[in-house]
Amino acid sequence: MDWQAFALSLRLAAVTTAILLAIAVPLAASIVLGRARWTAAIEALATLPMVLPPTVLGFFLLVLLGPRTAFGRGIAALFGHPLAFSFDGLVVGSVIYSLPFAVQPLVAGFSAVDRDLVDAARLLGAGPVRLVSSILVPLARRSILAAIVLSFLHTIGEFGVVLMLGGDIPGATRTLSIVLYDQVESFDYAAADHTALLLLGLSVLALALIYSKAQKRGAPGDA
């Protein structure tokens, strides 16, 4: 078992999920509460990575973040190294690739909050930040949980973007999915079996842990 890849996968998923939450909550709130003409465009952009083949997305990011573009050179200057074929690059790719899996459940959860409650909060002087933090987020707890679970597991299991953008560098970009691919390619099915079972177990465990926690808390349903 490649424990280094296992740890890297967990780290990548945790960092990506944290960043995604910070981005997706305001994004989903702006889709639900914003003006119609903007929300369609924002929602389309946020959903695009879901329908784009991962390898296509990975290729675009590889070119964008590489030394061929001014953007890539600017980012390299900022980070002190090129983002392609690095852990930071994987995080950027994962955030973009998993964005719809964080945004969609949040949009559904925020949309389900009674509009009259939103109006009541606004009338009582709540600005956008307070409205989101004190009304939408607490009333859409299950959707936030779903966004966390989906983002985390989707990042753990991603392959195309990781391979295109990060390659296969042990300790830096080699995740469990890449290890599994390498094991199958070298006909080491016994090791591949273990890796696949670990990925499967991880997914089941994460889902079971988080949903059982939600049940214990007796979290109310989304409004």
Partner 1 sequence: MLSFSLDARRGAFHLQVECTLTTEWTVVFGPSGAGKSTLLRLLAGLDNPIHARITLDDRVLTDTASKLRISFGHRQTSLVSQQPTLFPHLNAAANVAYGLYKLDRPARERRVSEMLDLVGAAGLAARRPADLSGGQAERIALARALAPAPSLLLLDEPFSALDGVASDELLARLQNWLRENHVQAVMATHDVSDALATGAEVLFLREGRLVALGPAREILAAERTRLLGRLEPPTS
Which is closer to partner 1, CB of 116 or CB of 185?
116
Q: Which of 175, 146, 165 is nearest to 13 (CA)?
A: 175
Which is closer to partner 1, CB of 140 or CB of 163?
140
Binding site for partner 1 (CB under 8 A): 114, 116-117, 119-127, 130, 134-135, 138-139, 220, 223
DSSP code of residue 170: T
Which is closer to partner 1, CB of 80 or CB of 221?
221
Which is closer to partner 1, CB of 34 or CB of 167?
34
Q: How far is the CB of 136 from partner 1 (least distance, A)?
A: 11
Q: How far is the CB of 124 from partner 1 (least distance, A)?
A: 3
Which is closer to partner 1, CB of 75 or CB of 131?
131
Q: How far is the CB of 200 from partner 1 (least distance, A)?
A: 36
Q: Which of 63, 9, 29, 34 is nearest to 144 (CA)?
A: 29
155: enclosing H helix or E strand: helix 141-157
Q: Which of 103, 89, 194, 95 is nearest to 146 (CA)?
A: 103
Q: How far is the CB of 140 from partner 1 (least distance, A)?
A: 11
Name residue, tokens 């390659």.
167
Q: How far is the CB of 28 from partner 1 (least distance, A)?
A: 19
Q: How far is the CB of 216 from partner 1 (least distance, A)?
A: 17
* Side chain identity at residue 60, one-letter code: F
Cβ neighbour number for residue 79 with a 10 Å cutoff: 14
Q: Which of 46, 91, 86, 45 is nearest to 66 (CA)?
A: 86
Rounded CA-CA distance 185/68 in Å is 31
Which is closer to partner 1, CB of 80 or CB of 127?
127
